[in-house]
Amino acid sequence: MLKHLFVVFLFLTSFSYAQNPVAKEKDSSRIARDSIKKAEFLKNIGNGYLPLGYFNLDLRYLIKYNQFEGVRTGLGGTTNDRFSEKYRANGYVVYGFLDERYKFSVGGGFRVAEATNTWINLSYTDDLQETGSSTFLTDKRFFTFFEPRLLNIDLFHRHITKSIGIQHKLSNHLLTETQLSNSRVNPTYNYNFVLDDEVYNTFNLSTAKISLQWSPFSQFEIINDRVVETKDAYPKFTLQFTQGFESIFGSDFNFSKLDFRTVQQFDHKNESTTNLTLVAGIAGGETPLTHLYHAYPNNINKETILQRFSVAGLNSFETMFFNEFFSDKFMTFQFKHFFSPFNISDRFKPQLVFISRYALGDMNSISRHEGIAFNTLNHLYSESGFEINKLILGFGLSFAYRYGAYHLQNFEDNIAFKFTFNISL
């Protein structure tokens, strides 16, 4: 009898021990899956998307503010891989309460080659764009919960744009995107473009763009049958060429633009970082002001320092007034040194950043642009200052001083005192 009881005891004991690893394995698998889902969710939020089944809600369109539209609010988004890995649709609808107008965009795309991640995209957009702004087609989606410069921008042009584009990955290190578009452009401010005794206050533009982004030192791995960037390394180089064609689909002007940007970052052993950014552009031919360059200004045209108190941008000139300078050729250089955070406590780690910015530019045919007064950057524009970030709830303070060739007579006009906002997931 005792033998039988002993055998039963050994059986139960061995059975329980045999089951524990399985249970633990199941728990580990569940924890791993939950961790992956959480990481994917945070990645989507960090990119500005809220996943909702087959659709990702685009957080960029929920609410914004600028000087022309006032409060701008709406909804937008894109389909995700759960909907399809070969087809996608995207769009948005927004409303500006100050200009009392709806803006929208509809588009979609289909993948023609999985190995090179080649997509053909189409879109129709009726919206506003900041005059003098320049973006690269290959830029990764950039999202912040708060866009500082947008609050103070007042110079926009309306555009109705139809476009078709091709995304193509020549290699893991080299991305390309090409776009053909036709736009009807209508400045929202008093502006005339004078060309050969003819005056244009609205115009059509047909353009072709090709953009290249080269990240020679980034590292990639194949994870779940997909190429994933595992190390975001520097320097990075971006080049974009734009050609405007006259008389094609009713286009009014023939012009060309070449834009370049390089970013270098040095990570030091003491958790400090040095960031260098060089941006340059040149436009030739019959280029209206809407498609020329400003130098990323971010200073409000108000009289006193306190009236100009606002939010510092990430890469903008804090002492340069909005619409103060425009160029058909320009270059900016920015130096930022992030000191290691002050480890005051686990939750309170403010960070000091030293910043210097420089800009140089020129414009050939200033007389072509009527209705708006501006200066050129024939001499070197200089500003330097510092930031103390993450003082409380992601907010900090910024100070910048304007000196050199464009130093202003009134001492207070050379000073920009603002707060900063930095938060990361």
Q: What is the average pLDDT across 275-283?
A: 97
**35 band by pLDDT with thresholds 50, 70 and 90:** low
Q: How far apart are CA 135 and CA 129, in angstroms?
A: 11
pLDDT of res. 42 = 60
Read off the pLDDT of residues 71-99 as tens digits, 9 standing for 90 and up.
999 999 999 999 999 999 999 999 999 99
Better pLDDT: 162 or 311: 162
User: How many of the other CB atoms lie within 10 Å of CB of 7?
Assistant: 10
Q: Is residue 92 within 8 Å of 73, Cβ to Cβ?
A: no
User: Is a pLDDT exceeding 70 seen at residue 9?
Assistant: no
User: Is a pLDDT exceeding 90 seen at residue 44?
Assistant: no
pLDDT of res. 34 = 58
- The CA-CA-CA angle for residues 8, 11, 13, to 5°, reads 110
Q: How far apart are CA 205 and CA 181, in angstroms?
A: 8
Q: How far apart are CA 386 and CA 98, in angstroms?
A: 35
Read off the pLDDT of residues 321-337 as tens digits, 9 standing for 90 and up.
999 999 999 999 999 99
Architecture of domain 114-421 in CATH? Beta Barrel (2.40)
User: Is a pLDDT exceeding 50 seen at residue 6?
Assistant: no
Read off the pLDDT of residues 156-176 as tens digits, 9 standing for 90 and up.
999 999 999 999 999 989 999
**409 band by pLDDT with thresholds 50, 70 and 90:** very high
Residue ranges of domains in the chain: 1-46, 114-421
User: Is a pLDDT exceeding 60 seen at residue 345?
Assistant: yes
Q: What is the average pLDDT across 203-228?
A: 85
Read off the pLDDT of residues 362-390 as tens digits, 9 standing for 90 and up.
999 899 999 999 999 999 999 999 999 99
Q: Give exposure, 95-125, as e/b (b: 16+ Cβ within 10 Å).
A: ebeebebebebebebebeeeeeeebebebeb
**244 band by pLDDT with thresholds 50, 70 and 90:** very high
Q: What is the average pLDDT across 305-312?
A: 86
Q: What is the average pLDDT across 122-141?
A: 91
Q: What is the average pLDDT across 223-242?
A: 83
Which residue type is seen at 197? D
**123 band by pLDDT with thresholds 50, 70 and 90:** very high
Q: What is the average pLDDT across 291-319?
A: 90
User: Is a pLDDT exceeding 70 seen at residue 424?
Assistant: no
Mean pLDDT of the chain: 88
Q: How far apart are CA 258 and CA 283, in angstroms?
A: 7
Give the position of tokens 């080659």: 113
Q: How far apart are CA 318 and CA 399, in angstroms?
A: 9
